[in-house]
Amino acid sequence: MATFEKRTRIPASVQELFSWHGRPFAFERLAPPWEKMRVVERQGGIKDGDKVVLEMRQGPFRHRWVAVHCDYIEGQQFRDEQVEGPFAKWIHTHQFFPDGDNASTLSDKIEYQPPLGFLGKAAAGRYISRKLERTFTFRHQRTLKDLERLQPYAGKKPLKIIISGASGMIGTALTVFLSCGGHDVRSLVRRPPPAGNSGILWDPARRPLDKNLLEGADVVIHLAGESIASGRWTPRRKETILKSRVEGTDFLSEILASLQHPPQVFLCSSAIGFYGNRGDEFLNEESGPGQGFLTDVCKAWEAATEPAQKAGIRVVNVRTGIVLTALGGALAKMLTPFQMGAGGIIGSGRQWMSWVSLEDLIGIYHYLIYADSLSGPVNATAPEPVTNRIFTRTLGRVLKRPALFPLPSFAVKGIFGEMGEALLLEGQRVKPKKLLQSGFGFLYPGLDSSLRWELGK
């Protein structure tokens, strides 16, 4: 059998490192964003006999992968073996070694045999080896960076955290990160949860919510809202977008304000659309609102948190920029045309794109939980906004593809209407002044490094 092994020194104790791997969603946290992979079934965790079932996509093909855990030794190792999947044999041993008082070594050893014996090894051996190196470099870096982010708060108690919009792209990633950090994370859900699920039923339109289930929560994170980029902005669509944000936020704020034991902090999503289209003007949290539909939505959205503020809850309006991840959103939509060599600037290319990596956005929410000095609007953008022209060139360079096919303004307006004009042809040049002044450390302050991380380049 072929063997692959990766070792990395981690600035955390063996017990911290081992515990992180044993928490719910650790596997999801370690899955590279560019891989088409999802957990379809899980029985237990990482102890002997526990099982995980994955669905993996490779081009047009789907693979079912079933792995069973064995050889569990608390604080030292666990192993998973493929019992069904694409390999003839696959044994993955995770080992953890002490390396001084506050550090350890993480080891992943893979023993594998490709399908079709010698033919499979000859045809796919180098491809498998390269893919393992790429994947486990990502996994070890993510483990290291997560533990570094969690380290300053290691002495604090685990928190009870409630998240709305937890099934969305940002909510899913945040739930996974916080759960791996040892917190008790529960979701606000629109449908009755199945037996054994800890979801809390809510519906801002009909207003059912057992507020007793929110008593004692330390943090509430509100992400729910209708997508602004899923269709043309008809009058009815605009009304739906506005109501989904204002009604939900107002309802949740009133509930939190009425609790006997309200949360310490309420983090409510907002957007940099608050500033409107301002050309080359630098914008920060002290800048006033702009004009247009998105500005009106953001103003009403943030105002709806007033009941929570008046009740003494620390409220943060997280004004989020363009979130970059291969998992979805703007970047995922760009990948196919760029990979085909058909990417290019949009409109004039001079409009500003204030972006943030999903990895840093998760870090921002985690940081804001503990940053008692921060309240009100906080810009969740990277410190280096770029024009659409620079963004296009950078993405093309990272993907090693030309970016020669522009999308003219008239085509954007004709295809997408007002929505396309606001989201693609206009922009904001935003700085995260409050985060930078308070000492938040971005993992990916530059566009090139962010794209390479998200795309595994």
In this structure, what CATH number is given to the domain that contains residue 218?
3.40.50.720
Sheet holding 184-189, edge to edge: 200-201, 184-189, 160-164, 219-222, 265-271, 314-320, 376-380
Of 187, 190, 192, which Cα lies nearest the Cα of 166? 187
Of the three residues 91, 117, 152, the one that is the final residue of a domain is: 152
Of 139, 175, 182, 184, which Cα lies nearest the Cα of 20? 182
Measured in whole angstroms, how far is the alpha carbon of residue 254 from the centre of its chain?
Answer: 28
Question: Which residue carries 């998992």 as its tokens?
Answer: 327
pLDDT tens string 148-180: 999 999 889 999 999 999 989 999 999 999 999
pLDDT band per the 50, 70, 90 thresholds, residue 339: confident
Residue 120, pLDDT score: 57
Residue 84, pLDDT score: 92
pLDDT tens string 100-111: 888 999 999 999
Measured in whole angstroms, how far is the alpha carbon of residue 246 from the centre of its chain?
Answer: 23
User: Which CATH number covers residue 44?
Assistant: 3.30.530.20
Do 141 and 164 share a domain, yes or no?
A: no
Q: How far apart are CA 251 and CA 232, in angstroms?
A: 27
Q: How far apart are CA 32 and CA 35, in angstroms?
A: 6
C-alpha dist (Å) from residue 209 to 192, 212, 336, 453: 11, 9, 42, 40
pLDDT tens string 39-62: 988 899 999 999 999 998 877 778
Domain count, the chain: 2
Strands 376-380 and 314-320: parallel
Q: How far apart are CA 456 and CA 134, in angstroms?
A: 7
SS3 333: helix
Do 144 and 161 share a domain, yes or no?
A: no
Do 244 and 380 share a domain, yes or no?
A: yes
pLDDT tens string 201-215: 888 877 678 888 999
Residue 242, pLDDT score: 94
Do 288 and 186 share a domain, yes or no?
A: yes
Would you report the helix, strand and coil content of the chain in percent, each value rounded to 5?
A: 40, 25, 35
Of the three residues 92, 123, 152, the one that is the final residue of a domain is: 152
Whole-number percent of the chain with pLDDT over 90: 70
> Do the beta carbons of residue 263 and residue 220 sit within 8 Å?
yes
* Mean pLDDT of the 418-439 span: 93
At residue 168, what is the residue type? Answer: G
Element (H, E) at 189: strand 184-189
Do 87 and 21 share a domain, yes or no?
A: yes
Q: Which domain holds residue 281?
A: 156-455
Of the three residues 152, 174, 196, the one that is the final residue of a domain is: 152
Flag whether pLDDT at 353 surpasses 70: yes
Do 57 and 172 share a domain, yes or no?
A: no
Do 374 and 328 share a domain, yes or no?
A: yes
Task: Return the DSSP state at 407.
Answer: B
Do 251 and 204 share a domain, yes or no?
A: yes
SS3 426: coil
Do 126 and 203 share a domain, yes or no?
A: no
Of 364, 246, 269, 252, which Cα lies nearest the Cα of 313? 252
Q: Count how many residues are written for the chain.
A: 457
DSSP strands (E only) in 255-367? 265-271, 282-283, 314-320, 322-324, 352-353, 355-357
C-alpha dist (Å) from residue 2 to 6, 87, 114, 124, 131: 14, 12, 9, 12, 14
Do 373 and 227 share a domain, yes or no?
A: yes
Residue 447, pLDDT score: 96
Q: What is the mean pLDDT of the chain?
A: 91
pLDDT band per the 50, 70, 90 thresholds, residue 413: confident
* Mean pLDDT of the 80-95 span: 93
Do 305 and 389 share a domain, yes or no?
A: yes
Do 248 and 303 share a domain, yes or no?
A: yes
Q: How far apart are CA 379 and CA 270, in angstroms?
A: 9
